[in-house]
Structure 1
Amino acid sequence: MWRRTLKAAFGQPDATAHLLFLRDSQTVTRIHFLHAAAHLGVLAELKSPSGQEALASKLGITRSQQFGLFLKLGVSLGELADDAGTYRLKGRRAKALVGPNGNVLRALLDEQIEYHGSVYRELAEQLRGGPLGDYLSATAAVVAESSRIAEPVISSYVTDVVTGAGPTPRVLDIGCGSGVYLRAASQNAGATGQGIDMQPASVELTTKNLTDWGIGDRFHVTQGDIRKGASEADGPYDVVLLMNNIYYFAPEQRPALFETLRSLVKEGGTLTLVSMFHGTSPTALNLDLVLACTQGCYALVSPEELAPELRAAGFRNVTVDRLVARESLLGIRAS
């Protein structure tokens, strides 16, 4: 019988495509399972093995049949193990979601399902002239957290730039978020400076973080909008940072932005800009599409587009650095 079944399966038109879709559907199922398991608290509780009944009691779950199926799905996917009715974490992804970097990975799942999923669900309407989506109002915190997945790479780059700026450089971080790149700048023991952010919550968070990191005497943060000028910036600076936020500036705003930033950079200093740029990888093109469909965001640009704008603002030398192999996460240094 199995031979007849196999023959029938491979007798389908585009049999290979059928198999590929089945494989892809399992990946989607895994993502949905991990997303739900993280939000339910299942993964956190299973850091210590537990039976279904005890686990359900801790999590306030009352539908035992459905919960049992959910746990069996986790076992089938290899994310959970069932040792004679006692469940525990097994898969690397499940373990990582409750590990030291779990917040970032959980935010990455949330961004894919809640933000990107909404974009694709509404894409047909948008492409036919419907309004762009107001996605960030509900997902801004998730996006900010998930973007930290590139933090180690970008922080290392910032540290290198600031270290090369001399023994006592002044550093300005535009849109400083949590202040993590000021922390990277502080690896140069003589560095001082400030961050600027539009959001009061970010200013409060950065202020707390700078104190907790022991660098509050060297760096401070101010609320402000760089698009309205440089009055809060207290320049000039040896290094000005623009990290992962160029796509929040409309193309027509960029020339004035770069002129303002040029006025804040000392002669011989550097504007350092990091972003995903327009590229051909699925990661870059997906982000490009998502941003282009989101109110208040703009499609990714290419370094070739930015270089003339930077030179027109008064920067003479523009250098492009690739930060990740085969991806368009780039650093631009303009001096």
Structure 2
Amino acid sequence: MNAKTFARLVADLSSEDFAKVEDAANTICALRDANAYPLILDALQSETPLICRVMLWALRNYTIADYAQFLPFVCSADDDVREAAQVLFMEGGEAACKTLVSALSSDDLNLQYGAVETLGQMRSECAKQPLLASLSASAPEVRALAAYSLARYPDDAVTDALLSRLSDEPDVRSAALSGLKGRALSSDALLSVMPLLSDADAGVRALAVYVLDAAVPDSAADDADSRVRRAMAEVTDSAEILRKLLTDVDSSVRTAAADAAGKRGMRMDEVLIPLLSDEMPGVRRAAAAALSHAEGDAVVDALIQALSDPKPGIRAAAANSLGKIGGEKAKAALVSASQVKNPILAGIIKNALSELEKREAGE
């Protein structure tokens, strides 16, 4: 491609005609000839984000000897430009990774942050060691980003490194705890997390609950912050704790507790039925769904009443629960409710009715 044709394509990227912009972008991104490479590099000097983004996408078609010239774009203020640069580095293998590592020692905090963010997106072994080293960076925001990025590496070395950051600044502690969620921790590791249940930052306390999971003490259900109590509702296997949280003053906690009761198949009819009249729709929906494990006239009557709830999502949850509970009363209510004018809701109710009838027929 010659310079004149390329210049016309670049100019078209600033057109008000969307079709012309799209055609120009597609043409440039498909370029592979050597003559276009220096033209692409020149166009990258533009201050127009779209032009920069298209050039970065086009560079993916070329073998790049020096990735350092593209480092400024991994910390671009424009999200789309930054994403395009990250993809370019992610596909660049070891050479690109080494260039990002060199940026970690830069005095430019934005460049450090962009390099760590991009290394985190690479999800490769070559990125792991630099990310571990970044846990000791002078800037807390860089340490926090490194901790978040290490969450996808399940090995013991990463676990130990994240545990070592639990006494860092709040954002770093939060990031480290996020990275520890879902890991099988040793008794000693769990003991090192326990003190964070008393952390001054409620977000840290909530994350500690998630990390401790089954090992979390019941006292976390009495935390002053709803985020911690909500986390407790999601991890506890205690029916007593869930009953308590089902009547919490915070609706998000009640919702989480009802969802948890449903997922665990716990029978809590006496607490869940009143929640069908809760002022918050999310609570009513969760309660209606959780009652699918219950039985008896009181439950069926309450769910039939919920079929008249003003919110379609709650009516759908009630219908599904009635379909699972079964019985003639539930069946008759579903037949009647299936006449609703909302086609999506009608389909859900008919499916619930169909499942009920299949079970009755022994299918």
Length-normalised TM-score, structure 2: 0.22
Bigger share in strand: 1
Length-normalised TM-score, structure 1: 0.23
Bigger share in helix: 2
Question: Looking at CA atoms only, which structure, 1 or 2, has the larger radius of gyration?
Answer: 2
